Amino acid sequence: MTPAANLPEEVEHGLARYRTMLTIRYFEETVCAAAVAGRIRGPVHPYIGEEAIATGVCAALRRDDYVASTHRGHGHAIGKGADPAAMMLELYGRVGGLCGGKGGSMHVADFSIGMLGANGVIGDGVTMSLGAIQGSRLLGRDVVAAAFIGDGGMNRGPVLEALNWAKTFRLPVLFVCEDNRYSASTHSRSVTAGPGFTARAAGFGLPAEMVDGNDVIEVERAARTMVEQLRAGAGPMFLHALTYRIGGHLAQDAAPYRPKEELARRSPLDPLTRIETWLAHHGIETHTLEAERAAVRESIATAERAAQAADFPPAASVFADIQDIGAPQWGA
Amino acid sequence: MGRMTYAEASILALREEMRRDPRVWALGEDIGRGGIGGQYKGLQDEFGAQRICDTPISESTIMGVGVGAALAGTRPVIELRITDFALCSTDEIVNQAAKVRYMLGGQARAPLVVRQPNGMCAGFAAQHSQSTEAWWIHTPGLVVVAPSTPRDNRALLKAAIRSDDPVIYLEHKEMWGVDGEVPDAEETIELGKARVAREGRDLTIVTWSKTASFAEEAARTLAGEGIEAEVVDLRTLYPWDRDCVIASVERTGRLLVAQESVEIGGFGAEIVADVTQHAFGALKAPPARIGAPRTPVPYSQPLEEIVRVDAPKIAAAARRVAAARRG
Ligand SMILES: Cc1ncc(C[n+]2csc(CCOP(=O)(O)OP(=O)(O)O)c2C)c(N)n1
Ligand SMILES: [Mg+2]
pLDDT of residue A332: 62
Per the domain annotation, does B114 fall within a domain?
Answer: yes
Mutate to test the pocket of ligand 1, among A71, A156, A175, A189 (most ligand atoms within 8 A of CB): A71
Name the band, by pLDDT with cuts 50, 70 and 90, for residue B300: very high
Chain B nearest-CA distance from A120, in A, is 9
Q: Are A154 and B41 in contact (CB under 8 A)?
A: no
Ordered by where they begin, the domains of chain A are 8-308 (3.40.50.970)
Please indicate, yes or no, if residue B109 is contained in any of the structural domains. yes
pLDDT for B230-246, tens place per residue?
999 999 999 999 999 99
Number of C-beta neighbours around residue A277 at 10 A: 10
Span B156-182, pLDDT tens digits: 999 999 999 999 999 999 999 999 999
Instruction: Domain of residue B42: give its range.
Output: 2-182
The answer on B267 and B159 residing in a single domain is: no
CA distance B57 to chain A (A): 9
Sign of the CA dihedral with A262 first, then A177, A34, and A88 last: positive
Residue A254's pLDDT is what?
A: 93
Is the same domain home to B31 and B141? yes
> B150 in a domain, yes or no?
yes
Residues B85 and B227 grouped into a single domain: no
Task: Encode pLDDT of B211-230 as tens digits.
Answer: 999 999 999 999 999 999 99
Residues of A in contact with B71 (CB under 8 A): 111, 116, 128, 131-132, 135
pLDDT at position A1 is: 45
Residue B33 in any domain: the answer is yes
Domain boundary among B182, B212, B229: B182
What are B265-292's pLDDT values in tens digits? 999 999 999 999 999 999 999 999 999 9
Domain boundary among B182, B209, B232: B182
Q: Can you tell me the distance from the alpha carbon of A17 to that of A152, in angstroms, rounded to the nearest whole number?
A: 27
Q: Is residue B189 part of a domain?
A: no
pLDDT digits (tens, 9 = 90+) for B175-196: 999 999 999 999 999 999 999 9
Is the separation of the CB atoms in A86 and A51 below 8 Å? no
Q: Based on the domain organization, do B116 and B22 belong to the same domain?
A: yes
SS3 (DSSP) at B209: coil
Q: Would you say B67 and B104 are in contact if contact means Cβ atoms under 8 Å apart? A: no
Does B93 reside within a domain?
A: yes
Ligand 1: residue of A45, A177, A183, A186 to mutate (most ligand atoms within 8 A of CB) is A183
The ipTM estimated for the assembled molecules is 0.97
- B11 and B160 part of one domain: yes
Chain-centroid distance of CA A146 in Å reads: 10
Q: Say yes or no: B229 and B303 in one domain.
A: yes
**Of residues B128, B138, B172, B278, which has the active-site annotation?**
B128
In a domain, B187, yes or no: no
Residues B247, B296: one domain? yes
Ordered strands of the A173-179 beta sheet:
A66-68, A145-150, A173-179, A237-242, A208-212
Q: What is the pLDDT of residue B29?
A: 98
Interior angle at CA B195, CA B193 and CA B199, nearest 5:
145
Q: Please compute the mean of the pLDDT values over residues B206-214 and round it to a whole number.
A: 98
Whole-model pTM: value is 0.97
The CA distance from B154 to A191, in Å, is: 49
CATH number at residue B312: 3.40.50.920
B76 and B219, same domain (yes or no): no
Rounded average pLDDT over B190-210:
98
pLDDT at A320: 97
A249 CA → ligand 2 middle, Å: 9
Q: State whether B24 and B135 are in the same domain.
A: yes
> How does A68-95 read in b/e, with b if 16+ C-beta sit within 10 Å?
bbbbbbbbbbbbbbbebbbbbbbbbbbe
Write out pLDDT tens, residues B49-104: 999 999 999 999 999 999 999 999 999 999 999 999 999 999 999 999 999 999 99
Q: Helix, strand, or coil here: A68?
A: strand
- Whether B202 and B109 map to the same domain: the answer is no
Do B92 and B144 fall into the same domain?
yes
User: Do residues B167 and B242 share a domain?
Assistant: no
- Rounded to the nearest angstrom, the distance between the alpha carbon of B42 and the centre of ligand 1 is 43
For β-strands B2-5 and B179-182, DSSP reports them as antiparallel
Q: What is the pLDDT of residue A267?
A: 77
Does residue B278 have an active-site annotation? no
Check whether B145 has a pLDDT greater than 50. Answer: yes
**Whole-angstrom distance, CA of residue A171 vs CA of residue A129:** 10
Provide the number of structural domains found in chain B: 2
Distance B323 CA to ligand 1 centre (A): 58
CB under 8 Å to A202, separation ≥6 — which residues? A208, A238
Q: Which of B119, B147, B182 is the last residue of a domain?
A: B182
Low-confidence ranges of chain A (pLDDT < 70): 1-5, 332
Amino acid at B154: R
Give me the CATH number covering residue B175.
3.40.50.970
List, in order, residues 6 or more apart from A91 with CB less than 8 Å away. Answer: A31, A34, A40, A44, A97, A104, A105, A108, A307
Q: Is the CB of A152 under 6 A from ligand 1?
A: yes
